[in-house]
Amino acid sequence: MDINDIQICKRFLAGCAVQALIDELRLTPKPGLVDLNDTGVHDDLNVSIMMRSAESLRETFEKMAVVSFNEEPSQTLREEIAYIGRQGEQEMFQATGGTNSHKGAIWSLGLLVSSASIYRGHVEASQLLETAGRIARFEDRYVPQEVTNGSVVKRKYKVNGAREEAELAFPHIKHFSLPTLLSGRARGINEEDARLNALISLIANLDDTCILHRGGKEALIDAQRLANLILASGGVSTSEGFQTLSNLNSSMHTHNASPGGCADLLAATLFVDRISTYSDQVMNKKLDMAII
Ligand SMILES: CC(C)(COP(=O)(O)OP(=O)(O)OC[C@H]1O[C@@H](n2cnc3c(N)ncnc32)[C@H](O[C@H]2O[C@H](COP(=O)(O)OP(=O)(O)OP(=O)(O)O)[C@@H](O)[C@H]2O)[C@@H]1O)[C@@H](O)C(=O)NCCC(=O)NCCS
Ligand SMILES: Nc1ncnc2[nH]cnc12
């Protein structure tokens, strides 16, 4: 098997993207979000709907990988991916019966799949993020001019949202969630807690338009304060950190708010981690290509 083969590369990258969505979904306990314990603040989503949504996106990510394979970032590529992404949004809505489960993830993971495919799957984290940012900065002339939850709160609260996060090459993944994940592992924390800490580092720092739209500024301030407290107490593995995680969950319920944007960026972080680990292993020739 050879990752330089376009068919293998598309299956590999789409497989990593869908797995990242499933890993995010299964991570438990997450504040306000759907997980294995409960549906958080969501009355129109649950684990099986979100699993269907994640699986429905496999073909979307495969198509994005195919058009990007060995290409250069360009406006044409950006518009091809956006077209495939809009079709993917329709697949998602069909799978969920009309609920928005993964719109932000189609955007962020789609750009990252495209970036990874440009390098045929062999790329380290910072270049993967930089190239995804370069693709995002090209204009999509066909983007629908619609009022979205994100566009409303971005104007109201003068914050950045999903588009700017990507155009800036995912600074919250680069500076917060990925280092938190890697340093947790290096300190010997179990994988679940390292991932939860990565999510908490996003909640502490990101202006999540999903929280702002549902709960307003107060919800975002409360979420960021409690998430910072968890990090200051040493993370979710400490008893104080775990208690504060429970307070953060209660606060999300009080505001009926959910960190959906942070969840998407956690999935994106897990994708970047998987691709860069794979790339390292190939470089060190530790990986048996036949097992991919
Ligand atoms: C550029 C786009 C991402 C569109 O962005 P915009 O901000 O205009 O649109 P939104 O509809 O608000 O979606 C953005 C979603 O991105 C996630 N997100 C939020 N904040 C951030 C952030 N700071 N950084 C990164 N990502 C962020 C978040 O997604 C999650 O939340 C979704 C649920 O949210 P919502 O629909 O608001 O749901 P509810 O609270 O339940 O509201 P109601 O149902 O009550 O109304 C969930 O999907 C999570 O994924 C934001 O929601 C890009 O999508 C775009 O260009 N779109 C145009 C169409 C297109 O071309 N698409 C193809 C692109 S490849
Ligand atoms: N686990 C989750 N729960 C609710 N919304 C989400 N958007 C992305 N992941 C989510």
Residue 1 within any structural domain of the chain: no
35 pLDDT more than 90: yes
pLDDT band at 279 (very low <50, low <70, confident <90, very high): confident
pLDDT band at 284 (very low <50, low <70, confident <90, very high): low
Residue 29 within any structural domain of the chain: yes
203 pLDDT more than 60: yes
DSSP 227-269: HHHHHHTT-TTSHHHHHHHHHHHHHHHHHT---HHHHHHHHHH
Residue 266 Cβ inside 6 Å of ligand 2? The answer reads no
Residue 270 Cβ inside 6 Å of ligand 2? The answer reads no
* Residue 35 amino acid letter: D
| Cβ–Cβ < 8 Å for 260, 206 | no
> Taking residues 158-162, what's their average pLDDT?
97
Q: How far is CA 137 from CA 41, 79, 122, in A?
A: 33, 11, 22
Q: Give the integer Cα–Cα distance in Å for 159 and 224.
A: 14
Residue 164 within any structural domain of the chain: yes
Kindly give the number of the ligand 1 atom that is closest to the alpha carbon of 149.
12
> Taking residues 51-55, what's their average pLDDT?
98
Kindly give the number of the ligand 1 atom that is closest to the alpha carbon of 44.
41
Q: How far is CA 105 from CA 180, 233, 251, in A?
A: 20, 30, 24
**Which residue, by CA, sits nearest to atom 32 of ligand 1?**
260
Provide the residue range defining the domain that includes 230.
6-144+157-291
| Cβ–Cβ < 8 Å for 142, 230 | no
Local structure of residue 9 (DSSP, 8 states): H
Q: Is 158 exposed, middle or buried (0-12, 13-18, 19+ CB in 10 A)?
A: exposed
Residue 231 Cβ inside 6 Å of ligand 2? The answer reads no
Q: Two tokens at 155?
A: 């104007």
For residues 287 and 197, the model is more confident at 197
Q: What is the pLDDT of residue 146?
A: 92
Residue 47 within any structural domain of the chain: yes
Q: Give the integer Cα–Cα distance in Å for 58 and 215.
A: 32
> Taking residues 18-27, what's their average pLDDT?
98
Q: Give the integer Cα–Cα distance in Å for 133 and 169.
A: 4
Q: What is the pLDDT of residue 278?
A: 84
Residue 243 Cβ inside 6 Å of ligand 1? The answer reads no
> Taking residues 106-112, what's their average pLDDT?
98
| Cβ–Cβ < 8 Å for 207, 176 | no
| Cβ–Cβ < 8 Å for 192, 217 | no
Q: Give the integer Cα–Cα distance in Å for 81 and 76.
A: 9
| Cβ–Cβ < 8 Å for 6, 66 | yes
Residue 152 within any structural domain of the chain: no
**Mean residue pLDDT across the chain:** 95
Q: What is the pLDDT of residue 289?
A: 45
Ligand nearest to the CA of 203: 1
Local structure of residue 177 (DSSP, 8 states): I
Q: Two tokens at 24?
A: 């995010």
Residue 247 within any structural domain of the chain: yes
How many domains is the chain built from? 1
> Which residues 6+ apart lie within 8 Å of 246 measured at CB?
29
| Cβ–Cβ < 8 Å for 120, 70 | yes
**Which residue, by CA, sits nearest to atom 39 of ligand 1?**
210
Residue 225 within any structural domain of the chain: yes
**Residue to mutate, 22, 25, 28, 107, ligand 2, most ligand atoms under 8 Å from C-beta:** 25
Residue 150 within any structural domain of the chain: no
211-240 residue pLDDT tens: 999 999 999 999 999 999 999 999 999 999
Residue owning tokens 């996060």: 165
* Residue 133 amino acid letter: G
Kindly give the number of the ligand 2 atom that is closest to the alpha carbon of 105.
8
**Residue to mutate, 48, 57, 102, 249, ligand 2, most ligand atoms under 8 Å from C-beta:** 102
* Residue 186 amino acid letter: A
Residue 161 Cβ inside 6 Å of ligand 1? The answer reads yes
pLDDT band at 14 (very low <50, low <70, confident <90, very high): very high
